[in-house]
A and B are shown apart, each in its own frame.
Chain A
């Protein structure tokens, strides 16, 4: 028996996006799969991945004090060491992840490692850091990048079911994500909700979110016409993370920014209509699976850096209020299309998930495709043709040192 551990210390959405890697590990005969997550996410992780043994670490802020963090961490580390893993996959480029990696030998580690006190990236992740320097050309979904730590990951279509409505006449609305700038303001969201409401023939609306989202939900209700507002039930702050899968299963569609709930909906095959703006970029973190829709802001400054102040007054919100877009959302044909917006459908190819632009143009599509082919060539996948490693790709995917100097550490 081989014991493998996947360490995913980031948020709910990242946990859902680790699915292809986890399923690939679970598929391999003789593997016993373990998963280490923030302790608040243990119940959800157990729901998402019932085949895995889940371990909890105090990785998120929570209400812990330092003594508690140390004690919980040490207990968890002692248990993990005892299990003598054959391979340990570190997915997050974070100091917490590197601290955890210090427990294991470089031979055990995949993704990231700590080699004699020096933090190291694997060859694959070094490559990813290279191409992420210009995110506009993002050639791979994050879920696939993580999956490629496995030498033969499962086929993309085996990850999530295709999007299929529950036919309940109910639409869910995630009012806000963790980063305010990546969410539509209530007024803009209200206009989008009205259009979708019209297209769906007046469905019931379920407003979903945490307690801190309640003020936004109230503002959204105020922005809606009374006949729509009265169809909206506000569940913000009234449900737990563990309740979310059952709620999502009962939806015909989920309207959402780039959130963990979006990835959970994709995991369940619940159709998603996602609004991506600011730093969110659907070619990196779009919903995984066939048949979801993503409306991606595409200004020249997109995707931006969330942590930097926006010098443009969050102008990437504007296309979501454009009458042509709202008409499109309402199901009406219009020859117009707002500038700076891409309408995408989530699709799959042999390599993994991607977003195909069907409304508006994608000026970066050709370059991204070329990179994707190049990346496939690096992975040695059958669809990679001999021309995959074009001069442009060679220059973009690799730094000179990657060609000429020995690798820091020889594990994927």
Chain B
């Protein structure tokens, strides 16, 4: 009779549920990298793959009531896909990004099954208010704003709350050496990347004479902006954003507002672009935000608080390239030290360990003692190939192998076979 394999803690497993679309989608993908950098085994629920179905529903041209019902059914179905994935992957944590398709029924089901859930609500709580209905169904609620949001969550009975600002992904957001063609295509004295919110339209309308180039969507119906708009207002990929940041002398960063007045409105949270431009070692002029000073010191961030100051600072920094470089370098150092997705995910995992009893202490089958040489060599090679740390348990390796596509190697298939054999007989 074979002895059961010993058990101990292995890699934390996180099922990351992306939203179907929108601004928090890239944040989710970057968070996955951050989790991997923290030694997590990450599975991504690729909700954007379901987005075409949602679009097709909108093309039906049926009554609005019927469309509502169909969309709700669709959401429930996608939510069931998430719970099925959770059952198969057995994660320590299901981490949802804002607007991830996870219904209350699905959250209840996950809770009944003992699966821990967390939300990283990377949206403005004043605009996206659906958190009021959902927050209590998550075991942990991370947000990018402080008061009064945290108080309001507490009033709902949500106490496992965490202020977790956005961040940069240094493997993507980094200084680049651009060739001439790229400089030509992406370069500018003054640039902005982002969607055409009303306040931005108003703020940027008069900046044409300063050489502003605008990149991004939702600008195309504005005649004042049109001459500045690049690439016909196409969506800009994350990679091209990095090229633009690197190729621009001054990167504008104006947080969005649905109101045109004032164009530079007071606000608290700090957007991802702030960290991304900084991580690129590029210079940015950003509007002053309530939570910015605790993230960057004054000599690490050049700011403005109104349209007049914006123009003045553009002129000043355009004329002082050494100051631009110094600010940018300090901002980059601070970002790499404190504001990476790896750091954010470490904070999230540490917080989960603090406030969720037993978090991460799942039982993981580890390797048999006196592992035969053949098995040991194969496993070591496999772990290198799968980029798994030496601490990975048998269960971790199996989960990683199960996540692979295509035909498996002899060793991988033999490990899967061993796993199934073990479940059957030990």
B154 within 8 A of A: no
Interface of chain B: mostly helix, strand, loop or mixed: helix
Known contacts A70-B375, A105-B407; A100/B417 CB under 8 A: yes
* Cβ 8 A contact of A67, one of B371, B402, B411, B426: B371
Residue of B368, B372, B414 ringed by the most chain A CB atoms within 10 A: B414
Known contacts A61-B425, A66-B422, A116-B405; A102/B416 CB under 8 A: yes
* Cβ 8 A contact of B421, one of A58, A63, A98, A116: A58
The total of Cβ contacts below 8 Å across the A-B interface reads 89
* Cβ 8 A contact of B418, one of A66, A104, A116, A117: A66
Task: Say how far A10's CB is from chain B's closest CB, in angstroms.
Answer: 12
Leading 3 A-B pairs by shortest Cβ distance = A95-B420, A99-B416, A74-B414
* A119-170 residues at the B interface, CB under 8 angstroms: none
B372 touches A103 (CB 8 A): no
A70 touches B415 (CB 8 A): yes
Report the Cα distance A100→B413, complex, angstroms: 6
B403 touches A102 (CB 8 A): no
A47 within 8 A of B: no
Q: For A96, what are the chain B residues with a Cβ–Cβ distance below 8 Å?
A: 417, 420-421, 424
Q: Flag A31-63 by CB within 8 Å of B: 1 or 0 each.
A: 000000000000000000000000001110101
A103 touches B402 (CB 8 A): no
Residue contacts A-B, CB under 8 angstroms, 18 given: A65-B3, A65-B368, A66-B2, A66-B421, A70-B378, A71-B372, A73-B413, A73-B414, A74-B411, A77-B410, A77-B414, A96-B420, A98-B420, A102-B407, A103-B410, A104-B407, A117-B402, A117-B405
B112 within 8 A of A: no
Known contacts A67-B368, A74-B414; A59/B421 CB under 8 A: yes
Residue of A59, A70, A116 ringed by the most chain B CB atoms within 10 A: A70
B423 within 8 A of A: yes
Q: For B419, what are the chain A residues with a Cβ–Cβ distance below 8 Å?
A: 99
Q: For A117, what are the chain B residues with a Cβ–Cβ distance below 8 Å?
A: 402-405
Q: For A104, what are the chain B residues with a Cβ–Cβ distance below 8 Å?
A: 407
Known contacts A64-B2, A117-B402, A117-B403; A69/B417 CB under 8 A: yes
Task: Say how far B194's CB is from chain A's closest CB, in angstroms.
Answer: 36
B423 touches A95 (CB 8 A): yes
Report the Cα distance A102→B423, complex, angstroms: 18
Q: For A71, what are the chain B residues with a Cβ–Cβ distance below 8 Å?
A: 372, 374-375
Q: For B56, what are the chain A residues with a Cβ–Cβ distance below 8 Å?
A: none
B406 within 8 A of A: yes
B176 within 8 A of A: no
B405 touches A69 (CB 8 A): no
Report the Cα distance A98→B415, complex, angstroms: 12
B412 within 8 A of A: yes
Instruction: Tell me the nearest residue of chain A to B4, going by C-beta.
Output: A66
Report the Cα distance A64→B423, complex, angstroms: 14
Q: For A81, what are the chain B residues with a Cβ–Cβ distance below 8 Å?
A: 410
Task: Say how far B251's CB is from chain A's closest CB, in angstroms.
Answer: 40
Task: Say how far B329's CB is from chain A's closest CB, in angstroms.
Answer: 45
A78 within 8 A of B: yes
Report the Cα distance A94→B5, complex, angstroms: 22
B1 touches A69 (CB 8 A): no
A102 touches B371 (CB 8 A): no
